[in-house]
């Protein structure tokens, strides 16, 4: 059995070794036991999505409303949803959104393999590998999840109460009879209506907008994550927990990415729910309504979601990688 030391690992091409401590900073794809990694990764991802789903729902509803006709902000949206729809209203469409677990496995597999491929081709810069890996992973993930996303977002807004003057209107864009019906029945009705209106392409409505929003979002997030991680490692005291630095770097990367990509995410949401034409047309309508407000619309729930999501997903993901690392690397991996 090979005895691994910093020198032998460098000779084997293992990247991201902290030169001062000799510990591996980033656990690579070929260092892990996949039989442990995949189930633990799915469990971690599901737990995080379950906890943060209400913020996804609130963010979507704020993004698709005109100005502030229904909700004045995150807290106001939370209060009104609970008042009119109950606590269960915060989880509308969740079980359909849970299919993202499948795309999540494809996402992370693509991300890690692209990074591994580039590493083998001599690309040493972790930020460049993360940028490319994040972009490719998002492209694969969105291709799988967009149809479920379309259905889920329709379920998120179904039954939402809007005020129009003194009257109140219940949102039901597809004219679905949802009273007394189970969630699978409602989802099936949405599928039928979307197919009748647009055929199969209706399930990929907003696909290009999703790609335009999520591919750069994913690429930037992973790149900023590695950037902040490297910077924190440079200035942190010797012996600082690597996992702690990663859990700080992730929210910083999330905030930076959200600030840069917020308008793209609003266009994506409107295209998928409001059937607002193509990307350019939707952006023109949004600009006419909001002007520079497109940079802040729905920003607070998205920032909050991004900070908490980034922290928890990296805490889970990096912990899962440590639990899954092969025996020969365990002593070289620092918590």
Confidence of residue 1 (pLDDT cuts 50, 70, 90): very low
Task: Classify residue 239: in a domain, yes or no.
Answer: yes
What is the percent of the chain with per-residue pLDDT over 90, rounded to a whole number? Answer: 22
- At 120-166, the pLDDT tens digits run 888 888 899 999 999 999 999 888 888 887 777 777 766 655 555 55
Task: Classify residue 73: in a domain, yes or no.
Answer: yes
Distances (CA, A) of 81 to 58, 241, 266: 9, 40, 20
SS3 label, residue 162: strand
176 close to 190: Cβ distance less than 8 angstroms: yes
pLDDT (mean) for 280-298: 68
Distances (CA, A) of 137 to 110, 143, 213, 247: 5, 10, 13, 21
How many C-alpha atoms does 117 have within 13 Å on its Cβ side?
Answer: 9
- At 308-321, the pLDDT tens digits run 889 998 999 999 99
Q: Which of 5-9, 260-264, 285-289, 331-335 has the lowest mean pLDDT?
A: 5-9
What is the percent of the chain with per-residue pLDDT over 70, rounded to a whole number? Answer: 75
**Bridge-based pairing state of the strands 167-170 and 161-164:** antiparallel
**Whether the predicted pLDDT of 237 surpasses 60:** yes
Tokens of 241: 């927990």
- At 10-61, the pLDDT tens digits run 433 444 555 455 677 788 888 999 999 999 988 888 888 888 888 888 877 8
Task: Classify residue 18: in a domain, yes or no.
Answer: no
Distances (CA, A) of 245 to 74, 101, 208, 218, 255: 29, 26, 35, 20, 16
Task: Classify residue 23: in a domain, yes or no.
Answer: no
pLDDT (mean) for 242-255: 93
Task: Classify residue 258: in a domain, yes or no.
Answer: yes
The domain of 209 spans: 28-327
Residue 268 Cα to chain centre, angstroms? 14
Q: Which residues contact 331 (CB under 8 A, 6 or more apart)?
A: 4
Q: Which residues contact 217 (CB under 8 A, 6 or more apart)?
A: 138, 257, 261, 264, 265
pLDDT at 320: 92
**Whether the predicted pLDDT of 74 surpasses 50:** yes
310 close to 55: Cβ distance less than 8 angstroms: no
CB atoms inside a 10 Å sphere around CB 50? 13
**Whether the predicted pLDDT of 115 surpasses 90:** yes
Question: Based on the structure, what is the number of domains in the chain?
Answer: 1
CATH of the domain at 155: 1.50.40.10
- At 173-218, the pLDDT tens digits run 566 666 666 777 777 778 787 788 878 877 787 677 778 778 988 9
Task: Classify residue 5: in a domain, yes or no.
Answer: no
**Whether the predicted pLDDT of 246 surpasses 50:** yes
pLDDT (mean) for 279-303: 70
- Give pTM, 2 decimals: 0.70
Q: Can you tell me the distance from the alpha carbon of 90 to that of 54, in angstroms, rounded to the nearest whole number?
A: 5
Task: Classify residue 304: in a domain, yes or no.
Answer: yes
pLDDT at 145: 81
DSSP classification of residue 123: -
How many C-alpha atoms does 266 have within 13 Å on its Cβ side?
Answer: 31
How many C-alpha atoms does 115 have within 13 Å on its Cβ side?
Answer: 29
Question: Where would I find the H helices in 65-174?
Answer: 74-85, 94-97, 100-120, 126-157
CB atoms inside a 10 Å sphere around CB 248? 17
Mean per-residue pLDDT of the chain: 78
Residue 161 belongs to what H/E stretch? Answer: strand 161-164
Task: Classify residue 248: in a domain, yes or no.
Answer: yes
Q: Which residue has the higher pLDDT, 7 or 208?
A: 208
């Amino acid at each position: 059995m090979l005895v691994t030391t910093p020198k032998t690992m460098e000779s084997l091409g293992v990247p991201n070794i902290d030169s001062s401590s000799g510990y591996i900073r980033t656990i690579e794809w070929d260092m892990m036991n996949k039989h442990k990694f995949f189930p633990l990764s799915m469990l971690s991802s599901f737990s995080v999505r379950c906890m943060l789903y209400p913020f996804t729902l609130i963010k979507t509803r704020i993004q698709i409303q005109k100005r502030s006709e229904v909700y004045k902000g995150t807290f106001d949206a939370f209060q009104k949803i609970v008042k009119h729809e109950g606590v269960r209203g915060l989880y509308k469409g969740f079980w359909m959104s849970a299919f993202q677990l499948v795309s999540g496995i494809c996402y992370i597999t693509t991300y890690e393999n692209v990074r591994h491929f580039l590493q083998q081709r001599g690309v040493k810069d972790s930020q460049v590998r993360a940028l490319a890996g994040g972009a490719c992973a998002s492209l694969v993930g969105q291709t799988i999840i967009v149809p479920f996303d379309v259905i889920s977002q329709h379920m998120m807004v179904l039954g939402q109460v809007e005020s129009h003057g003194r009257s109140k209107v219940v949102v039901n864009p597809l004219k679905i009879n949802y009273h007394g019906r189970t969630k699978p029945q409602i989802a099936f009705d949405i599928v039928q209506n979307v197919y009748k209106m647009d055929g199969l392409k209706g399930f990929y409505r907003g696909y290009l907008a999703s790609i335009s929003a999520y591919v750069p979002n994913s690429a930037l997030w992973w790149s900023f994550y590695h950037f902040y991680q490297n910077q924190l490692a440079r200035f942190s005291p010797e012996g600082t927990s690597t996992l702690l630095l990663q859990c700080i770097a992730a929210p910083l990367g999330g905030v930076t990415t959200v600030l840069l990509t917020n308008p793209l995410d609003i266009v994506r949401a409107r295209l998928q729910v409001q059937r607002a034409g193509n990307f350019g047309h939707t952006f023109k309508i949004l600009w006419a309504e909001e002007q520079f407000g497109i940079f802040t619309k729905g920003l607070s729930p998205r920032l909050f979601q991004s900070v908490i999501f980034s922290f928890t997903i990296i805490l889970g993901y990096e912990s899962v990688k440590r639990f899954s690392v092969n025996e020969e690397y365990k002593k070289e991996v620092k918590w």
